[in-house]
Amino acid sequence: MSGAPFHSIRDLPDTLAVFPLPGVLLFPRWPLPLNIFEPRYLNMVDDAMAGNRLIGMIQSTGGERQAPDLAAIGCVGRITSYSETEDGRYLITLTGLARFRVAEELDVRTPYRQVRADWTEFADDFHEPDVEPPGTRAGLIAALNIYSDAKDMSVDWDAVGKADLEGLINALCAGCPFSVMEKQALLEAVSLQQRAERLGILLKMDSAGPDRGSLQ
């Protein structure tokens, strides 16, 4: 795949095809592998590959299966790997670029949904964090320690200590079994530090069991 011609929100389109999935998060600079098999989303990938290779990932928040309610904020990704299986599925990887707010859903003829995307809140998504906020990794490791003990999980602590902080935070946000709204709160965090703080709170709350409360 050639290099992406997207360097700021000014390079991004106003109209965006969206793929609603509950519990699935995409973050800037984060790779998300997807197995595409529904006809409408096969069509979406075909159109994306013929154009700018952009797809907006957004959580569905209830409603009807064929047209679920959409969260207010999603994240656009560019198709950076693509293959087709013998049974007609597409195996793709989206690499996140920037988050967007749904300004409105468009009335379109395509079988997949499209929105008008407002990027203005998320210009900083194109700037990779160059400084690790003091205490962020230590606080996250402490919360993960509590969580892993409560869930009887095995953790490679050496890898956790050496991992890129943004990648570690995003992997935990995407991989932990939080609710749709909790994951949405993680996606919408203004900064990496705020995302890490919210993640730490959720890890500790989830360690407490079913009566843990909720993240506001």
Encode pLDDT of 125-181 as tens digits.
999 887 787 889 999 999 999 999 998 989 999 999 899 999 999 999 999 999 999
This prediction has a pTM of 0.91
Give, for 34, the enclosing helix (H) or strand (E).
strand 31-36
Residue 99 has pLDDT above 60, yes or no: yes
Contact yes or no for 56/41 (Cβ under 8 A)? no
User: What phi and psi, each to the nearest 5 degrees, are found at residue 81?
Assistant: -150, 150
Q: How is domain 9-126 classified at the CATH fold level?
A: 2.30.130
The residue extents of the domains of the chain are 9-126, 136-207
Strand partners, 75: 57, 99
- SS3 state at 16: strand
Q: What is the mean pLDDT of residues 172-194?
A: 95
